[in-house]
Amino acid sequence: MKVFARKGLTACLFGLAFSLAAVAQDSSFSNKNTLPEIGVVASEAISLDKEMMVGDAVMRQMRGQAPLISDPILDEYLQDLGNRLVVHAENAKFPFTFFWVNNDAINAFAFFGGHIGVHAGLIRRADNESELASVLAHEISHVTQRHIARRMQAQQRATPIAIASMLGGVLLAMASPQAGIAAMQAGSAASAQLQIDYTRSNEQEADRIGIAMLARAGFDPNAAASFFSTMAEEYRMVSRPPARLLTHPLTETRVADARSRAADYPDKRIRPVKSFHLAKARIVSRYSFDADYALEHFQAAVDSGDYPHAEAAMYGLGLAHMRNENYAEARDIIIDTLLKDDPANLFYLDAATDISLAEDLHKEAISRLEPHMSLTPRNTVLALNYANALIQGGQYSTATQVLKDYLLVNPEYELAYQLLAEAHREAKQFGDMHQAKAEVFALYGAYSRAVDELQYAYNFAGDDHLVKQRIRARIKQLRDQEDRLKRL
């Protein structure tokens, strides 16, 4: 499946990760040993409704400005992993959204409204799925315990200006990392020692709750301590540790506490998870390494046979061949070997579609996907790959119907709107194309650009008064959303 991995502004996201994680972990009550009254104390600073509005606004700006990875198969894997944890979380007040950041740093961060970002470098350093899950569980705990809101409550008791500086700094960091961090530092400098106390309290709380969540969800509760140890050892002699260690200090006491908490749960012997290793191989092959080095890396892994998962090594090699446009070699690995042995595997189906389309074999791609689409027509990987194959094969009407059906249940997946705009453009349906592009800009928080696109669409509506009325109503909705954002 074609992917959209935004480049540039890596430092912007790095700054945002640092600032949001720091905000998330610096809050608690003056009594550090008392757990929060969820929804009561924190709601004095910000209600759940407003928290979701702020989270939505930040997420829209991140889509437009941060180097996120829009990759259906990786998105589905991460969201599924996160959901398996969230169902075992306490005080989950809203759906969680998990997304990838195209950055090789070891980092993850949470912010308002249940949004959790994971840097690509995190899964590259994790040895197994439980280690990756341990980081997600920790970040989920920051959200369910409303650490950001509790920090705001503590700052509110000190000065309202600090809250404005904090929120302004978070948003500003997306456009200008240095300015954003400076604004946040200026707003919090007066209470540095208090922030240290909040950090200790919230990290202990998130560790405790996260490890319990990890165990309830069926993962290895020892994974948190093992990943802590791996990170600490890797960067023991480095003068500047990664963002994850800057915002989540790894003291010996913290690692020992994680081991002690894990000892309260039964030992789990968990077999290697194929989807984890495939996701990791995809990250490494497509996003972490240059094309030539990825090919060398996975060829050596296959030849040596010492890669943690043999099929994942072959999959990574197949993807590396694709990046280097060696489609015959990629076909031999992905389609003739891996997919033949596991015909329903979405990782393989996604790659096989890309190979077929690169070789102008549109009918092959469509016929391969159709049986799976009949079973799960709104699966993200299948629907978007199928629509892409239909577009490349000139079947624009069918493609637009597939995408519209998908968007009914996934209205905020930008890649679907991008494909929809492409389908309408190829079909010369320019009014519909501008409407689809407007939705992409709206997902970026670029409301003025979205309104411009809708006005272009209005000019193509001709005498269709129903379409014109629908466009006018959507313009009003977008302007209302922009006004609400300004009032925040």
- Note the pLDDT of residue 30: 35
- No. of helices (H) and no. of strands (E), the chain: 25, 5
Three-class DSSP category at 471? helix
Tell me: the pLDDT tens digits for 79-107? 999 999 999 988 777 789 999 999 888 88
Q: What is the mean pLDDT of residues 250-255?
A: 68
| Contact partners, residue 45, CB within 8 Å, separation at least 6 | 149, 150, 152, 153, 156, 163
pTM more than 0.95? no
> At residue 246, does pLDDT exceed 60?
no
Could you list the active site residues? 139, 207
Amino acid letter at 354? Answer: D
Beta pairing partners, 97: 115
Helices marked H in 309-345: 310-323, 327-333, 340-341
Q: 142 among the known binding-site residues?
A: yes
Range in 86-90, 199-203, 256-260 with the lowest mean pLDDT = 199-203
Please report how the helices 160-175 and 177-188 are oriented relative to each other, as an axis angle in degrees rounded to 10. 170
> At residue 366, does pLDDT exceed 90?
yes
Tell me: the pLDDT tens digits for 209-245? 889 999 999 999 999 888 888 777 766 655 555 555 5
- For 99, the token pair is 């997304």
Q: 362 among the known binding-site residues?
A: no
When comparing pLDDT for 201 and 206, which is higher? 206
Q: How large a percentage of the chain has pLDDT more than 70?
A: 76
Pairing of strands 97-101, 115-119: parallel
Give one DSSP letter per residue of 18-71, joined into a string.
HHHHHHHHS---SSTTSPP-TTTTGGGT--HHHHHHHHHHHHHHHHHHS-EEE-
Range in 33-42, 150-159, 359-368 with the lowest mean pLDDT = 33-42
> At residue 65, does pLDDT exceed 60?
yes
Spell out the domain ranges in the chain.
4-262
Q: What is the mean pLDDT of residues 388-417?
A: 97
Strands of the sheet containing 4-5, edge to edge, are 4-5, 68-70, 97-101, 115-119, 108-111
Q: 138 among the known binding-site residues?
A: yes
